[in-house]
Structure 1
Amino acid sequence: MVNRLFTIIVLIGLPLSVAGSLFHWSQILMFVIYCLTIIALAGFMGRATESLAIVAGPRIGGLLNATFGNAVELIISIFSLKAGLLGVVLASLTGSVIGNLLLVAGLSFFIGGLKYKRQEFNVYDARHNSGMLIFAVVVAFVIPEVFSMTMDEAETLSLSIGISIILIILYLAALFFKLVTHRGVYQHKSDTAEAHEVPEWSKMKAIIILLLSTIAVAYVSENLVHTFETVGEQFGWTELFIGVIIVAIVGNAAEHASAIIMAYKNKMNVAVEIAIGSTLQVSMFVAPLLVLISLFFKDRMPLVFTLPELIAMVTAVFLTIMITNDGDTNWFEGAMLLAAYLIMGIGFYLL
Structure 2
Amino acid sequence: MANKIFMILTLVGVPLSVIGSLMHWPSTILFVIYCLTIIALASFMGRATESLAVVAGPRIGGLLNATFGNAVELIISIFALKEGLIGVVLASLTGSVIGNLLLVAGLSFFIGGIKYKRQLFNVYDARHNSGLLMFAIIVAFVIPEVFSMEMNEQKTLNLSVGISIILIALYLAALFFKLVSHRGVYQSETEGTDHEKEEPEWSKGKAVAILFAATIAVAYVSENLVHTFEVVAESFGWTELFIGVIIVAIVGNAAEHASAIILAYKNKMDIAVEIAVGSTLQIAMFVAPVLVLVSLFFPTSMPLVFTLPELVAMVSAVLVTVIISNDGETNWFEGLTLLAAYFIMGIGFYLL
TM-score (norm 1): 1.00
Alignment of 1:44 with 2:12, yes or no, is no
C-alpha distance in structure 2 between counterparts of 1:190 and 1:345, whole Å:
35
Q: Structure 2 counterpart of 1:118, which letter?
A: R
Deviations 1:181-205 (A, max 9, x none): 0000001111023142100000000
2:296 partner SS = helix
Q: Structure 2 counterpart of 1:127, which letter?
A: R
Instruction: State the match for 1:199 in structure 2.
Output: 200
Alignment of 1:120 with 2:150, yes or no, is no
Q: Structure 1 counterpart of 2:27, which letter?
A: Q
> Offset at 1:292?
0.1
- 5 Å-filtered alignment, 1:121-200, equals 121-195=121-195, 196-200=197-201
Deviations 1:142-184 (A, max 9, x none): 0000000000000000000000000000000000000000000
Instruction: State the match for 1:262 in structure 2.
Output: 263
C-alpha distance in structure 2 between counterparts of 1:190 and 1:332, whole Å:
22
> Offset at 1:65?
0.2
C-alpha distance in structure 2 between counterparts of 1:14 and 1:276, whole Å:
31
- 5 Å-filtered alignment, 1:179-328, equals 179-195=179-195, 196-328=197-329
Matched residues, percent identical? 79
Alignment of 1:13 with 2:28, yes or no, is no
Alignment of 1:78 with 2:75, yes or no, is no
- List structure 1 segments (4+ residues) > 2 angstroms apart after TM superposition: none
**What RMSD, in angstroms, separates the aligned Cα atoms of the two structures?**
0.4
Q: Structure 1 counterpart of 2:76, which letter?
A: I
C-alpha distance in structure 2 between counterparts of 1:93 and 1:167, whole Å:
15
Deviations 1:68-119 (A, max 9, x none): 0000000000000000000000000000000000000000000000000000
Unpaired segments ≥5 residues, structure 2: none
2:84 partner SS = coil
C-alpha distance in structure 2 between counterparts of 1:276 and 1:192, whole Å:
20
Q: Structure 2 counterpart of 1:133, which letter?
A: L
C-alpha distance in structure 2 between counterparts of 1:187 and 1:44, whole Å:
30
Instruction: State the match for 2:92 in structure 1.
Output: 92
C-alpha distance in structure 2 between counterparts of 1:240 and 1:266, whole Å:
35
Instruction: State the match for 2:109 in structure 1.
Output: 109
Q: Structure 1 counterpart of 2:60, which letter?
A: I
C-alpha distance in structure 1 between counterparts of 2:192 and 2:38, whole Å:
34
1:192 partner SS = coil
C-alpha distance in structure 1 between counterparts of 2:36 and 2:229, whole Å:
15
> Offset at 1:39?
0.1
C-alpha distance in structure 2 between counterparts of 1:28 and 1:128, whole Å:
43
Instruction: State the match for 1:330 in structure 2.
Output: 331
